Amino acid sequence: MKKYDVAAFIWPSYTGKELRTRIFWEQGIGEWQSVKNAESRVEGQILPRRPLWGYCDEADPEVMKMQIDEAVSHGVNVFIYDWYWYDRRPFLEQCLNDGFLGAPNNTDMQFYLMWANHDAGYLWDKRQTDLNEIIWYGSQHRDEFEIICARVIEKYFKRPNYYKINGCPVFMIYELGNLVRGLGGIDETVDALKFFRSKVKEAGFPDLHLQGVIYSERAVSLENLDPKYSGTTKDLVKLLGLDSVTHYQYCHIIDCSKSYTEHLDDIAKEYERIHTEYDIPYYPHTSIGWDNNPRYTVFNGPVLMGNEPENVKKGFELAKEYSDKYNEIPLVTINSWNEWTEMSYLEPDDVYGYGYLDAVRDTFGAGE
């Protein structure tokens, strides 16, 4: 059977080791605090969901040893860690540094980083999610960007199990618009990315593989980012010289108002549009679901219903079909390994058990 690189995003908040998280989750257990207190508010919602593995500390290497074994045995062989830089320092690195990289079997899997460079507000604080205020800015100026480049090259890219395409370490960027805002314009961002590539080459790699997260096509307006330019997402991707693109969440490209399988035709059309309009590889994405009500005290819709494992498997099959048809590198991305507060996770729960993981294995094959 063909071997796929099945890459699941990881939201590294399920630990109390990051002291700065106490402003959001004062109990010291990370965002498990919100998961435990979730409740259903509309018909069809199933909240709370309970993790079969318990509310475990994912910065514990023994916990991650178990999770790596489970992931690999079900065909998930890459973790994409959401990686943050706020207030001139990293944020939420413990699940990667202490947990995953501390696990004795971590080299059984590969990993790479998605720089989650969005602004941080009160979304994570269930008591104050209605406050429209910024706590930390995700955009970074050039001096800070160069510090980030040096850190990720030295601390992560050089690890033998860091995920690479054609020998080039893959680095994903979540908000391309915020990248440009921080660096001061498109020309300045192009120059900064050239600098990043040069430092990666100096470290002994053939190049850097820059991967962008895309939303709907018109989520980016170049006129608003830099008045010297015009265009949409595909134009920004080309100007920045990215090597590939993927998605992070279905909710970025659909309104989630219909049931899961009713959306799959729209997802397939979006896959084909990107293939036609972009001149770089698109690595197909599947989301498990969408419901971020665990972060709210009142109902916040819409909620993507009908995402039972047998239906999500159809999403996996759609991604596999696209990968087989178009891509030399058989990489697919999944949201997510553990986004419990957005109800989009592969980890087993008390409703579907190992259903989502089994669907991955049945679609893409089990690990060795």
Dump pLDDT digits (tens) for 153-176: 999 999 999 999 999 999 999 999
Nearest to 92 by CA among 159, 138, 127: 138
* CATH code where residue 352 lies: 3.20.20.80
Q: Are strands 331-335 and 5-10 parallel, antiparallel or unpaired?
A: parallel
Other beta carbons within 10 angstroms of residue 188's beta carbon come to: 16
Cα 123 to the center of its chain, rounded Å: 17
Residue 1 has pLDDT above 80, yes or no: no
Question: Vertex 116, ends 112 and 122: CA angle to 5°?
Answer: 145
What is the distance between the alpha carbons of residues 222 and 237, in angstroms, rounded to a whole number? 11
Question: Vertex 291, ends 295 and 62: CA angle to 5°?
Answer: 70
Question: 68-88, pLDDT tens digit by residue?
Answer: 999 999 999 999 999 999 999
Domain that holds residue 173: 5-364
What is the distance between the alpha carbons of residues 156 and 296, in angstroms, rounded to a whole number? 35
Residue 116 has pLDDT above 90, yes or no: yes
What is the distance between the alpha carbons of residues 135 and 46, in angstroms, rounded to a whole number? 31
Question: 52-68, pLDDT tens digit by residue?
Answer: 999 999 999 999 999 99
What is the distance between the alpha carbons of residues 364 and 316, in angstroms, rounded to a whole number? 8
**What is the residue-wise DSSP string for 198-242?**
HHHHHTT-S--EEEEE--SGGG--HHHH-TT----HHHHHHHHT-
Residue 51 near residue 42 (C-beta atoms within 8 A)? no
Could you give the number of structural domains in the chain? 1
Q: Please state the rounded mean pLDDT for residues 298-325.
A: 97
Residue 12 has pLDDT above 90, yes or no: yes
Question: Vertex 123, ends 9 and 55: CA angle to 5°?
Answer: 55
Q: Please state the rounded mean pLDDT for residues 213-237.
A: 96
pTM for the structure as a whole: 0.98
The per-residue b/e assignment along 335-366, b for 16 or more CB within 10 angstroms, e otherwise, is bbbbbbbbbbbbbbbeebebbbbbbbbebbee
Note if the bond before 90 is cis, omega within 30 degrees.
no
